[in-house]
Amino acid sequence: MPELPEVQTIVNDLNRKIKGLTITDVWTDWPKYFRCSFGNFKKTIVGRKIGKIRRIGKNIIFDLSGGKEILIHQKMTGHLLVGSWIMDRGKWIAAKKGPLAEKVNGYIHVMFIFGGNNMLALSDLRKFAKILAVDKKDFENLEDVKNIGPDPLAAGFNFGDFKNLIMKKRGPIKKVLMDQSVVSGIGNIYSDEILFAAKMHPLKKAEKLSDKELRAIFSATKKILKKAIKLRGTSISDYRDTAGKSGCYSEARLVYRKEGERCPMRCGGKIKRLKIGGRSAHFCPSCQKI
């Protein structure tokens, strides 16, 4: 599932590519994506101009003219792509050769059309994504956003805030970092990377962390997430940017999915993997002691 750096990369791209365009039509072959009926969704958004596009946790929010909002969560295999497509035998395919044609043919299930041959597509192999439209006045009460924790990269988010949130929770720090009600946007990839950078064992109890340990995690959180955004995310699995290209943090990974490889800190240890609450954790037992 795309995490904070991947979603922020998409948001940055969308603000550059489609902000200011007007939605002239919308198409789908999978109406189950929409909380309301697809017909109502289409009626709500067609004719509206796209304003600022922003991120809340892993959700992408489109501010529309007339006091409306669109929320898209890409879930496991969804990614948003900007380009030109043609309909061929009932399926949208990329009009030109390149990453879009190579990666998404056959998996486009939603298409926002702007006119002038500009389109925004949702490509989603497993069809798990979510799309909804609401009045701006009702947005803050959506279950999808009202219980999401603060953004770890927000300008006003400081160490005191981070400490207070973490210390209210009990259990392995890996699991706490992934709790979207604590801080938003961190998932399996970046919790591993953050804890390795902070030299913290993923099973260490959150409630027993010292101020020094918490500061190390807080610092690593900002450093790792900013670096991953700069490198346009991680493409170990399905993630692609709006041009269909892979993110470059995949080559900069420290421990995620590197089981059996040597520790990048050159301590002589080997990366191991364990299960925590049904999720994998990758770590160096020599650098990250319990």
Residue located via tokens 């950078």:
197
This prediction has a pTM of 0.94
pLDDT value at residue 95:
72
Distance (Å, whole) CA 104 – CA 60:
20
CB-CB contact of 83 with 243 (8 Å): yes
Domains delineated in the chain: 4-146 (3.20.190.10), 159-283 (1.10.8.50)
Bin 20: left if φ > 0, else alpha if -120 < ψ < 50, else beta: left
170 is catalytic: no
Residue in 3, 6, 69, 193 annotated catalytic: 3
Span 167-191, average pLDDT: 97
* CA dihedral of 217, 290, 250, 12, whole degrees rounded to 10: -20
pLDDT tens figures, 223-237? 999 999 999 999 987
Residue in 68, 245, 257, 279 annotated catalytic: 279
CB-CB contact of 5 with 228 (8 Å): yes
pLDDT value at residue 237:
79
Span 175-190, average pLDDT: 97
279 is catalytic: yes
2 is catalytic: yes
Residue in 55, 58, 174, 204 annotated catalytic: 58
